[in-house]
Chains A and B, each alone.
Chain A
Amino acid sequence: MVWLFLSVKTIQYPILKLTIFLVIGILASDYVFISEWTLLGGIGVLIFVLIQIYFYCKKNKKTVYWPSFLVLLLMVLLGVFVCKIHAPSFSKSHYSHLKNITNKDLHQLEFVIKKRLKPTTYNHRYYVELLKIDSTLVSGTLLINLSKDSTTANFKVNSKILTSAQPFRKLNHLSIPINLITKPI
């Protein structure tokens, strides 16, 4: 399919091609297990080779087409790389690196409200940016469910809040509806 796509003469849209291969890279990033630094190295080498080819061709007044594959490969690598460095767990201070957040103690949290979500029947919901857990400085976004009866205060976006909370619950266990989990045997 990719070969067919490349061979279509009517597509004279170079940036469209680049974007499509970037998307392929982003989609593939979940299945690629190469470290960020190796990827960065690969991208650097590719760019270097491409520049060399460019100057070689300019000097000898030649036109070659095969390096376009290198460009597309570069785009795929770039997509994977961008996806990897944007993953929140890439940051060392992300709260998911803390071991004790899921145990049953109360934790003191300090966070800034980022966005008010549509409230559910029982809860006000907010996306918040965590600043501190207990005394450790952390980063990362968290979903806060604030029981409707506990307070009538409607927090503004960007207000800083200090509170203590029960254990963190993993989201993916809760967000999947129970009747969709299936277990074939």
Chain B
Amino acid sequence: MKRQGIFYQVFLKDQAILAIPQSPKTITGYAETIREVLHKHLEQLPFKVIERAFIKALLLGQRQDISSNVYEAYKKAGAVHILAISGLHIGILLLILQFILKPLLYFRHGKFVSLVIILCVLWSFAIIAGLSPSVVRAVTMFSLFAIVKVLKRSSNTINTLAVSAFILLLARPGFCFDVGFQLSYAAVASIIIIKPILDSWWHFKNRIFNWFLDLLKVSIAAQIGVLPLSLYYFHQFPGLFFVTNMVVVPFLIIILCLGIATLILVVIHKPQEFLVNSLGRLIQFMNRFVEWIASKETFLFEQISFDLTALVISYLILFWVGIFYHKKTFKNLMILGVCILSFQVFVQQLPALTSKNSFVVFHKTRHSVFGFQFNQRLEIHHDLDALNNQRMLEDYKIGAAIKTQSTDSIQRLYKIDDKLLLVVDSLGIYNIKSVNPQWVLLRQSPKINLNRLIDSLQPEFIIWDGSNYKTYQERWKKTCTTKNIRFHQTSEKGAFLVRY
């Protein structure tokens, strides 16, 4: 959010909120009014809730009504790109428009007129969809493609892509850090570069077969380009992405056509019942198919650890594979080899070789969770009812590339590197003669006098986690500050982590 230029937030509650009536004068205001009108008309049609949510997301760019279950299913099936209005939608729209406007080409100036119409339609679509960054990006990109196609100036698509990126970045440098921007450019670039390579390998004579094969090739090419980024950001790889795309993309094309037709008809006149019904059916069917794919969890690879080094090196590898494919010289092969070797060294071998032991006190309200990491093994000591679905643990495991995990109950005394850590729980026992701990951890709100504990044990460091009462934590904080003892309160500073 800092990248979007938003630094502060405000919480409003039960306060006098006064809406000043104001006629919408800006473009976004008009777009909102148009959306409202369309929305009102849509409400009157006999759609189910989920179908209406889909139509709003796919045609008006309003994704708020799509439930997180559906979203999760699309993510697992590798089809999440169709839920946001992005390059795919605009691309399809452009193809539809070019198909409809084909007859114009036989007239004089037909090319120019069709270009103007295409640009107008694309941009008005972008405005109606709320001019969100992803839509503006996609429309800019495809407008450039359309213009270049008409002008027949340098048919070099990579350059067109670069120009659009250049313009967008000059206007909004923040896009550079936007996941959507990175994903869509990676996808388009790899489709442009990899698709011809795949084309030269295999194709069918039959046109219909070839069309589906093209779809398959495009989705494979896009997936190759996007893979490192999606591993880096989402840590998962949908293994059945090509099956999903082969089915969902044709559906999307039909749904977009029917949807736009319905929207136009709904404003002019009452649309045919047949049209509405078939649109609803199609959305239902697409949903059911995606859910079915998402339920095949064996093909979904989750919790893949992938860091920035891996991301950079894997793109270098892809880049040099491309170079080597076009120019098979010894030098290029050597560089490619070095890249692959460095991937193996930095990503696969080095993390396993360097010893990484750490001790973590996670923050969990009313519970205590400790983690002991020994290289790629994680031992969790906890007092939770169940360990499933703990986001913090999952995140930690992905970040630290943990392979195996075991659980245990919480002990009284731990040895961390060369320090002794005494755990004081609700029993409040700390006067053990033979032990001289350097660190003390307080959990389950022990009724102890912290002053006396500090005097008798002389610890270097005191930690307390989320299982303690808040009042106790405040009191301990004051004691530690007056006694000048270093402390760590997980509710304020977050998890406590020691590497050794």
Interface of A is mostly: mixed
- Name the CB-closest residue of A to B12: A146
Instruction: Please give the distance in Å from B170's CB to the nearest CB on chain A.
Output: 6
Which residues from chain A contact B1 at a C-beta distance below 8 Å?
Answer: 143, 171-172, 175
Choose among B163, B174, B495 the residue that contacts A179 (Cβ–Cβ < 8 A).
B495
Residue B7 CB within 8 A of the other chain:
yes
Contact call A183/B494, Cβ cutoff below 8 A: yes
Given A8-B323, A82-B170, A116-B64, also A156-B12 (CB < 8 A): no
Choose among A15, A26, A116, A147 the residue that contacts B162 (Cβ–Cβ < 8 A).
A15
Stretch of B25-33, B74-82, B92-100, B404-412 that contacts chain A: B25-33
Instruction: Please give the distance in Å from A5's CB to the nearest CB on chain B.
Output: 9
Given A141-B5, A184-B499, also A119-B173 (CB < 8 A): no
> How many angstroms from the CA of A119 to the CA of B63 in the assembled complex?
11
Given A4-B335, A172-B2, A181-B494, also A161-B17 (CB < 8 A): yes
Contact call B19/A155, Cβ cutoff below 8 A: yes
> How many angstroms from the CA of A161 to the CA of B15 in the assembled complex?
12
Instruction: Please give the distance in Å from A75's CB to the nearest CB on chain B.
Output: 9
Contact call B156/A13, Cβ cutoff below 8 A: yes
Residue B11 CB within 8 A of the other chain:
yes
Instruction: Please give the distance in Å from A28's CB to the nearest CB on chain B.
Output: 11
Residue A88 CB within 8 A of the other chain:
yes
Which residues from chain A contact B12 at a C-beta distance below 8 Å?
Answer: 144-147, 150, 163, 165
Choose among B4, B326, B494, B496 the residue that contacts A10 (Cβ–Cβ < 8 A).
B326
Count of residues in A whose CB is under 8 Å from the partner chain: 75
Which residues from chain A contact B130 at a C-beta distance below 8 Å?
Answer: 115, 157
Which residues from chain A contact B173 at a C-beta distance below 8 Å?
Answer: 26, 29, 79, 82-83, 86
Contact call B495/A164, Cβ cutoff below 8 A: no
Choose among B13, B176, B392 the residue that contacts A23 (Cβ–Cβ < 8 A).
B176
Instruction: Please give the distance in Å from A63's CB to the nearest CB on chain B.
Output: 21
User: Per-residue 0/1 for B340-361: is the Cβ within 8 Å of any A Cβ (1 yes, 0 no)?
Assistant: 0000000000000000000010
Residue B166 CB within 8 A of the other chain:
yes
> How many angstroms from the CA of A45 to the CA of B174 in the assembled complex?
26
Residue A2 CB within 8 A of the other chain:
no
Residue A9 CB within 8 A of the other chain:
yes
Choose among B10, B159, B491 the residue that contacts A15 (Cβ–Cβ < 8 A).
B159
Choose among A78, A169, A182 the residue that contacts B10 (Cβ–Cβ < 8 A).
A169
A and B contact pairs by CB, cutoff 8 A, 22 listed: A4-B335, A15-B163, A18-B162, A19-B169, A26-B176, A88-B7, A95-B8, A101-B8, A119-B64, A140-B7, A143-B1, A145-B12, A147-B13, A156-B36, A161-B17, A165-B11, A171-B2, A178-B491, A178-B494, A179-B362, A183-B494, A185-B498
